[in-house]
Chains A and B, each alone.
Chain A
Amino acid sequence: MDETTLLNYTSHGNGEPVVLLHGMAASKQDWSSLLLDLAQAGFQGYAPDLVGHGDSVKPDEPPHYTARAVYNTFENWLESLALTGPLRLVGHSLGGFLSLLYAHRHPQSVASLVLIDPFISPRQLSPAFQLFGRRPDLTSKAYRHIPGWLVHLALGLDLSEASHFSNQVRQQIAKDYLRASPNIMYMSSSVWDLTPILPEINSPTLIIWGDHDQTLKPASFPRLALQLPHAEVYPVAHSGHQPHIGKADQVNRKVVEFFRRQPEYSLQNPGIMAWQSP
């Protein structure tokens, strides 16, 4: 595949780059409000649709959907942008997994990270999701037959998030889910445990999570913070797996504040006070 042309992405703003990676069965639409807030704060956001998602290419062959293959396509796409200046990454769930891998492989270019309910290990998954991960052949078949109204209804029944999702947002989530390739289920069976590399990731990291996450165990996120050398956290009360959608104003504010506090932002923007870790 030619990754430089097959990943669809949107870019907004003018300034230092921030790359935003969505989670499984989502799309770049997840970041529509954060892209605006980042642009207003002087950053330029880049949000791709990962392989098999949104408007990006959806190959028929399952090998294109292993976590390693998805990462390689993302990495090649990012390199093709030839971005200059300190790079900031924002990743939700699977996007968090990809962000951590990139930060580990490119320690000199990643200035800071924001991880939102990030995936780091199969052990974080609830038993039902672990079962899905073991049989991607079956779950990808089942995926093809889920009607849109059922996804929409299921989102409405997620009590931890429902009150925060507008009807329009629910429709968008359902649309992204339904237009994703069923082969994305192969990602969940091919992810691996990133725990061993965590102590080697030195980029300042903000971990945000919903305290009612039903997809990944919320108790895993403080443990992640303990293993990263420079992490701080922001648990979002009464939120599920997608606090960046359900509580976008609150989350966006924290993301922008975090990036503004980092020393590299102060160097590039004289007049802004540098953040010093006590």
Chain B
Amino acid sequence: MAVTLILRNQEYQVRPGMTLRDALRKLEILSESVLATRDGEMIVDEEILRDGEVIKLIAVISGG
């Protein structure tokens, strides 16, 4: 089983039970470069990802 993370229509799978921070690190996505949402609500980096859920990531403008 897995957790699905979606960023700009691209899907990534990670194992459930890890934190959002660890999942992003594993996918080599900078935590500062995205906002993570579950059912439309923002979640924090310490959130534990649950089996079967879909986390949508929103790109945060960077630079400057």
Residues of A within 8 A of B (CB): 206, 219, 222-223, 225-226, 231-235, 253-254, 257-258, 277-278
B8, B60, B64, most chain A CB atoms within 10 A: B64
Instruction: Report the minimum CB–CB distance from B64 to chain A (whole Å).
Output: 5
Question: In this assembly, does B61 line the interface, its C-beta being within 8 Å of a C-beta of chain A?
Answer: yes
Instruction: Report the minimum CB–CB distance from A198 to chain B (whole Å).
Output: 13
> How far is A116 from B42 in the complex, measured between Cα atoms in Å?
19
- B58–A222 CB distance below 8 A: yes
Identify B58's interface contact among A219, A232, A277, CB under 8 A. A232
Residues of B within 8 A of A (CB): 8, 10, 35, 37, 40-42, 56, 58-61, 63-64
> How far is A3 from B63 in the complex, measured between Cα atoms in Å?
40
Instruction: Report the minimum CB–CB distance from A90 to chain B (whole Å).
Output: 14
Subset of 16 A-B contacts with CB under 8 Å = A219-B41, A222-B37, A222-B42, A226-B37, A226-B40, A226-B56, A231-B58, A232-B59, A233-B35, A233-B60, A233-B61, A235-B35, A235-B60, A253-B64, A257-B63, A278-B10
Q: For A226, what are the chain B residues with a Cβ–Cβ distance below 8 Å?
A: 37, 40, 56, 58
- B40–A254 CB distance below 8 A: no
Q: For A257, what are the chain B residues with a Cβ–Cβ distance below 8 Å?
A: 61, 63-64
Instruction: Report the minimum CB–CB distance from B23 to chain A (whole Å).
Output: 18
> For residue B40, which residue of chain A has the nearest CB?
A223
> How far is A231 from B58 in the complex, measured between Cα atoms in Å?
8
Given contacts A254-B64, A257-B64, A278-B8, contact A222 B40 (CB under 8 A): yes
Identify A234's interface contact among B41, B42, B56, B61, CB under 8 A. B61
> For residue B6, which residue of chain A has the nearest CB?
A226
Q: For A219, what are the chain B residues with a Cβ–Cβ distance below 8 Å?
A: 41-42
- B61–A258 CB distance below 8 A: yes
> How far is A233 from B37 in the complex, measured between Cα atoms in Å?
13
